[in-house]
Structure 1
């Protein structure tokens, strides 16, 4: 129930405290001084961790799949600095599949990153895009880095465990309903039919 409420909140609310660009990991650019506290909890939203796109005008059959995707792992790196907001960045591992109805050899997968309180209240959310290049193969994968995430803290006594950073595919209402109904296909859905 909490996860369902979170995905609804994350789907409909947007803010601007999360920004992203590509750079080296925060963890690699910092000295070895231990953090004053733990990083926020990080993970993918269950209902939005899978992506299935069917060909336009088709049904929900195995042979109608254009593209699939899964979020396979999420990692967070963070740094406390006095009482200012917690600086963090995340790495997201994606696995992508191309079905028999794919009209191209590449596909853009929209995804979101949201900063929430542990009670599920969304503090900030931003949408990004991951471009998958299949190069004639039915499956591929990619890691995306989102940095410059700012976790707001009232003061230096507030720990990162009071917050969560959640990710998921930015789904249409139909895709979200498909996931919530427990339906799913393998990443290489349709590959055997296309042979």
Structure 2
């Protein structure tokens, strides 16, 4: 199956809309009838919710760029035999550690639609370029993925049969670091 996650999104840092599907929202033109059932669960995968770039051993002085998905929210709409139409908003926090080179970094994150607890139906990867202002070691961003369309065989299939999972694309070493429960935060030990 292809075309479930369409490439329309709002870039949270620059608020520029682009993509083949346009800029309209799932919330636009709502039908007054209630949903046929619950929305699919939308969440970040624990093992892929953080990204820590290390240049050498696992000490803070070797930390390059970091990223963390700090929040996932969603909205869905479906009535009758219509497909489930969703949009998912992701909140990110990014850090620039002592070993970071340059003032910007390219991150990649994924959005996948799965049959709940089973197989991935579709997965799309999205790029996100983060630029740190001069003197800043932390920035936040919000991304909205619009037009996730999940087909249903008929009205007896509810959103509870699906989930939308998000995370960073990671190297094997980054994934192992996360699975071991390790973490570095650029602002650790600093007051606000």
Q: Paired residue for 1:67, among 60, 65, 68?
A: 65
1:61 CA drift (Å): 1.3
Q: Paired residue for 2:82, among 81, 84, 91?
A: 84
1:31 CA drift (Å): 2.6
Aligned equivalents of 1:32 and 1:18: distance in 2?
22
Aligned equivalents of 1:188 and 1:161: distance in 2?
38
Q: Paired residue for 1:134, among 132, 135, 157?
A: 132
2:6 is aligned to 19
Q: Paired residue for 2:91, among 90, 93, 98?
A: 93
1:67 CA drift (Å): 0.5
Q: Give the 3 Å change call, closer, same or farther, for CA 17–25 of structure 1 in structure 2.
A: closer
Per-residue CA shift, 1:77-135, capped at 9, x if unaligned?
11114313211110000000000111111111110000011123111101111221211
Greater helix fraction, Structure 1 or Structure 2: 1
2:152 is aligned to 153
**What number of residue pairs does the alignment pair up?**
175
Q: Paired residue for 1:113, among 111, 114, 117?
A: 111
* Gapped regions of structure 1 (runs ≥ 5): 1-13
Aligned equivalents of 2:51 and 2:160: distance in 1?
29
Q: Give the 3 Å change call, closer, same or farther, for CA 109–84 of structure 1 in structure 2.
A: same
Q: What CA RMSD, in Å, does the superposition of the two structures yield over aligned residues?
A: 2.0
SS in 2 for 1:73: strand
TM-score (norm. length: structure 1)? 0.83
The question of whether the paired residues in 1 share the 8 Å contact of 2:88 and 2:145 is answered with yes
Greater strand fraction, Structure 1 or Structure 2: 2
1:175 is aligned to 174
TM-score (norm. length: structure 2)? 0.84
